[in-house]
Every structure is written in structure tokens, then in C-alpha cells.
Chains A and B, each alone.
Chain A
Amino acid sequence: MSGIALAKEQSVKRRKTKVDVPKLIGFIILLAVTVAMIMPLWFMISTSLKTTKEMFVYPPSFIPKYFAWENFKELFTNSEIKFGRQYMNSLIVGIATVIGTVFSSSFVAFGFARYRARGSNFFFILVLSTLMLPYPAIMIPQFLLFTKLGLHDSLLPLILPSFFASAYMIFLLKQFFSTLPNELYDAGRIDGCKEIRLYWTLTLPLSGPVLATVAIFSFLWSWNDLLTPVLYLDSQENFTLPIGMAAMLSSKFRIAPWNLMMAASLLSVLPVVALFAIAQKRFVEGIVLTGIK
């Protein structure tokens, strides 16, 4: 008994005194990487709280001498920036794009995944081949189309295309839908489900991970898009966030207000972070699943 107790005590002692070198090195490397990753974020926060004069101090101050919270206030009160309005517009476009992409792409993908018809492969390849077209190739025809429809200078040209499905998302969803077992659908049909209901009550609820993936991707793309809004939007009331933020830096004759820009960037990251926080579990799952199959 006492021998065992002694051995235990010794092992505890040994654990206390002996340094696990590989672990320590690993820890130091991880710490260094973490600091390197956090630095830009830290400078974003720190610059967002600096006054214009402090922005130019060399070497740059790590922590602002004076916390200029008014930078954030100015974003919302400066009538030339219209940050709040642009934020709303971006949210509207982002949310509508997510809804449009999720429904339209999953609907098309459902068709490709669950039904066989003459030439369906050909059409699938046709859809995929649109992935090869760069945006500038369709930019002007699409611009003409929406202008003729009288939709110029409104948010609709940014939203409507997402209701006509996207090739990439169709591909992603189709791959997932194809893996759902046929027996499920047979059982559904025996219970008297119409085809649309197989899509709505069977396929969609089972596809949480991949739908979360599609939602995040489409939101991110719409949130970051600059070129399309620049082409279509003319009046400041309709501008989205990327235009507004690009405009802050757009003068070649002036010092860019980097402190305001950083404050705006900080706020603009929030919805993306929130979306990730909500969808994280499903998103990671989704990547793993679609990755395996």
C-alpha cells in the first residue's frame, strides 16, 4: 500500500519538476502565431480609436493616447457618409440574397439530384459551364437588361440574380442531395407525398449543414461585392457598405480618414461574425460532410 502511495507521490513530484520540452515549444509556436494573427485586428481596433493627428505618429502607437470614440459617432452622424443607411442596404441585399440563393439553388439542385431525364446530364454540365464565365463577360449585357427593365439605381439588380440560382451552389447542393437514401423518398411517396413536398418537408430539413454553407457563402459574397453595386447604384441613399467604404478612400487629393475607415470595418465585420457564430456548428459539419462524400 505504502509502496504504491510512494510511487504516486514520486510521479507527482516528477511531473512537477520535469518540463515537457516539445509541448513548450509547441505552445510558444502557437502563441507566436496567435499574436501574429491578432496583430492586424488589434491595429484595426487601435486605429479606429485614434485621432487624425495620431494616425501619422511614427513609430505608430500601440494603444491610442486618447480614445477617440467620436470616430464611431461620426460614422452615423456625418451626413456625407450615411453609414447607417448603407449598412441597412447591405443587410437587406445580403439577407434577400441568402433567401433567394438558398431557395432557388436548392430547388434546381433537387431536380438534378433526384430525377433522371433524357439530357439532364447535358443540362447539368451546361449549368456548370457558366462557372467558367467571368463576371466582366456578362457585366454589360446584364447591365443593359436591368437598365431596360427600369431597375437601374435600385437594389433589385443586386438581389434578383440570386433568385435565378447560382451554378456553384447548385453543384454543392446537388452533391449533397444525391447522398440522401432513395428509401426515404420511396417511403414518402407511399405516404402520399407530392413531389414538391418531398423537397420541402424531406430534403430541406435533412440538409441543414449544406444549406448553412450555402447561406454563409452567399451572404459573404453579397456583403463584400463592390463592382455590381458600383455599376447599378447612382444615388447615395441606395449605396451599399462596400461603395461607402471605398468612397472614404477614393480621393487622390486627400489623406484618407483611416481611423473612420477602421471604425467602419470593425462594424462591418459584426454581421459576418454573428452569422458564423450562429451557423458555426452546422457550417463545420457541412464542410466535413461535403468533403467526405
Chain B
Amino acid sequence: MSKKAGKLAIGFTLVFGLVATACSSEGSSKEGDQVTITHYTIDSPDRTFVEKLIPDFESKHPNIKIKVTKAPYEQFDSKLQSSIAAKNSPDVTSHWGYGGFMEYYNKGMLMDMTPYLNGLTGADYNIPEDVMNIYKVDGKTYGIPLNSYVTVMLYNKDLFDKVNLPYPPTDYEDKSWTFDKMVENAKKLTVDSKNLSEAQYGVDFGFGERDQRPQYFGADVYSEDTWTNGGKPSEINLTKPNVIEAYKKIYGLIWDQKISPTPAFSKSVSGQFGDPFLSGKIAMSVVGSWSLAASSDFNFKVGVAAVPQGPNEKVRSVLYVDPLFILKDSKHPKEALEWIKYLLTTEVQEKSIELSGGNPPVNQKAAEKYYSNFEGIDPEQIKQVFEGAYKYGFESYNHLISNYSQINDLFINELAVVENGDKKVEEVLPNIEEKLKKLLERVNK
């Protein structure tokens, strides 16, 4: 019996031995007055490249150590929330998950950086002042921009060549490049066929999220005060005639004009890859500029153009500015700011373009280098498109409206019946307005 008990004991020792050796890498080092800053980010190469910048930073700031923690995109928010609840929150992060700036701000997660800025202005890092202002509330700074994406039009040069159509212009001031002209072009580029391998569509109008699209047509879903009162709309305009008209125009591209792909078509040609443009069956695609980063992987020649002039003279592009925040529980905001400032310098921003595989820097001096980063596309054209997009851009709603992830889900779910062609816009919108009002009442109490 003792023999067996001995075996049991050995068994357990082995188990715990295995466990102990497997996990001996624990160790939070703190030497003397050295300070460790945690930088929390999405676990994907276009974000985790900051790890490569650490050695240089640490050699310049011997008293600061940087530790990078990360989570996959889908789990980004849940890990952040539980870290904060466990008083183990990172020092520096951004709204890289589903939540937006206003969500973080309203939950009281962000530190007011103003006392540590010591007169820092956007100009010190070649950041346009109006981009800096996005993350100011009541004159206090809660975030500093790092990357800025815009809306662009990508087009498939091969399809244009096939029907001998001139390429769309890159100049935002070219007033002949209008929405109607785009529709006209799209008609020539569409091959309406039941056969999937022949079918081809003229344009995929993916301007912003669903509730931001009417803005392009000069209609606002939310009342004006949303932009000044902390992202809480007091009124919803979904049943106003101009908003209904806008949605009719957007979904008319699919169902009346038949020049845009149906969701079913997009799904079947792009399958798991998400964007139907990649399949080479869409001639023009209005998308976020991040799609550019993959341009060298496309099976066709790609060009970049201005988003055509729509009924709204002022807004033709959605700006997606990614800032860096210092979280409220940070014990070393001064050192955290040092790290942020380092990431904004022209030299580091230039380096980041290559390391990240094409993240657009917010530092306008570094941006020059970004424009020449795309194989087969003329840097001058990209520059022109980006500058035009900044000029006619409006900040993405998810950065500005409180509880945006829930609002966006509502729009996606409710508008699906319109996108699938089962219902008309005017039948669905009043319903969405009701639901949205209830949602806002609940979350903005």
C-alpha cells in the first residue's frame, strides 16, 4: 500500500513540477526609481510594431521601461475592462477596440493630460490644430492623435481599361467629379448577370458607418448638439424627409440602379475575406484608407481617387483619427506622456510607417513619406487625395458619440432587411428611430 501511495505522491509531484517549471516566467521588475509604463494595444502587426521602438526609447530615457501588453481585436475591450476593474490598468492605450473616445470619456477611464502638457501644441509635432482639438473636452486634453485614416475611393484600373473609361480624378476641387457622374460611370462598368463569375458591379459605396452615410447627402441623423454636449444626441432625425431621401439614394444604388453589389453577392464573392473589392468584381469602392495597405496583394491594378462631390459640399470623407490616451489609474502620467511624445516625433512616425506596414502618421511632415509607400500608385496622387479628404472630412461618429458600439449594432441589424431588399427604407426608419430613442434613454440616464 505504501508503495502505491508513494506512486501517487510521485504522480502529484510530477504534476506540480510540470506546472511550476512551465510558469516560472513571472516577474515584474522594478529597480530603484525606474518606472514601468504599460502600453496596451491590439495584437496585430500594425499595432505591435511599437515593441521594436522600445530599445531606442529606453536608451534615451534610462529611467523609463516600456512594457507592451496586447489582446486580439475582438477581446480588446473585455481585457481592458477587467484590468481596470482589478486595478491593474495599463498606462497608455487607445480606443482600438469597438468602443470609441466618448465611451471611454463618459466611463471616466481617461486622465486629463492638460496639467502635464506644459504648453505642448499640435504644431510641435506637425499635427494640425483641428485634429488636436478632437480630443479636447471643455478645453481639457484627453487624448493626443497618433494615426489618421481618411475615406478614399479605390478603383480597379483593369475594369476601367476594359470599357475604355477615363480614370476618376484625384483632385477634390475638380467639380465635374460628382456623385451623379460616379453613378453614370458605374452603370457602364456594371455587368448584370445571374452568373456569379460574370457578374460585376460599378461601385460599392462604403462611406463611413450606416448612420454617417446620410451626412454625405447633406442630412444629419443626429441633432447638432451631439457634437458639443459629450456625444449624447437629444434628437433623432431618422423620419425627416431629407434623411429618408438620403437612405433611399444609398440603397437605391443596390436595388433601383442595380450598380452596387447586394450583401448576398458580396458575401459569395468575398467569402471569408470580407471585402468584395478584393475579388476584382467591383470597379469603384469607397472605403477607409486602411484598405490601401494591402494594395500590393491585389490581383489587379489599383488606383486611388477623390470621393466624388455629393449634395453636401462640406463633407466628403470620414476621418478616423486614432489617439493615445493615458488611463486614469496611471501612476506615472508624466513618464507615459514622454512615451507618447516620443511616438509622435517625425523620425519615429516615419519609422512607424514601414514597421507597421503602412499606418498613416498624424505628423504631417512624416506623412510625406507615407504617400510614397504604395507600390504602383503615384505618391502625388495619394497626397492629393489625402489632403482633399482632410479638408472635406468629418470625424468618424464612433469617436464622437457615446455608447456607439450599441448604436452601431442597432443600425446594422435593423437595416439588414433593407440591404437584403426585403423592405423599403421608409418602412424601416421610423422603427429604428423608436428603438434608438429607447436605447439612448437607457444608456444616457
Contacts and interface: CB of A to CB of B under 8 A. Distances in A.
Contacts of B271: 60
Contact of A156 (B19, B71, B86, B293): B19
Given A60-B271, A255-B273, A250 B25 contact: no
B19 A96 contact: yes
Select the residue from A156, A159, A254 with max chain B CB neighbours within 10 A: A254
Contacts of A147: 86, 88
B419 to A, nearest CB: 20
B410 interface: no
Contacts of A143: 82, 85-86
Interface residues of A, number: 58
Interface residue tally on B, bucketed by range: 35 or more
A230 B22 contact: no
Contact of A58 (B23, B197, B274, B290): B197
A275 interface: no
B7 to A, nearest CB: 9
Contacts of A100: 15
B196 A258 contact: no
Contacts, number: 146
B327 to A, nearest CB: 15
Given A100-B15, A234-B69, A243 B43 contact: yes
B46 A253 contact: yes
Interface in B278-306: 278-281, 290, 293-294, 297-299
Interface string A94-133: 0110011001000000000000000000000000000000
A263 to B, nearest CB: 15
A258 B82 contact: no
A194 interface: yes
A247 interface: yes
B73 A252 contact: yes
Contact of A258 (B44, B273, B299): B273
A95 B14 CA distance: 12
Interface string B47-88: 110000000000000000001011111110011001001101
Contacts of B297: 52-53, 56, 255
Given A96-B22, A200-B4, A255-B273, A250 B72 contact: yes
Contacts of A53: 297, 299
Contacts of A235: 25, 69
Contacts of A250: 42-44, 72-74
Contacts of A20: none
25 contacts: A56-B297, A56-B298, A56-B299, A89-B22, A151-B23, A155-B19, A156-B23, A159-B23, A160-B19, A193-B1, A200-B4, A226-B75, A234-B69, A237-B25, A243-B71, A246-B72, A250-B72, A251-B45, A253-B290, A253-B359, A254-B45, A254-B290, A255-B273, A255-B294, A256-B272
Given A96-B18, A153-B25, A201-B4, 13 more contacts: A55-B273, A96-B22, A100-B15, A103-B15, A152-B26, A153-B26, A156-B19, A234-B69, A246-B75, A253-B290, A253-B293, A255-B294, A256-B274
Interface of A: 52-53, 55-60, 80, 89, 92-93, 95-96, 99-100, 103, 139-140, 143-144, 147, 150-156, 159-160, 193-194, 196-197, 200-201, 226-227, 230-231, 234-238, 243, 246-247, 249-256, 258
Interface of B: 1, 4-5, 8, 12, 15, 18-19, 22-23, 25-26, 42-48, 67, 69-75, 78-79, 82, 85-86, 88, 149, 196-197, 269, 271-274, 278-281, 290, 293-294, 297-299, 357, 359
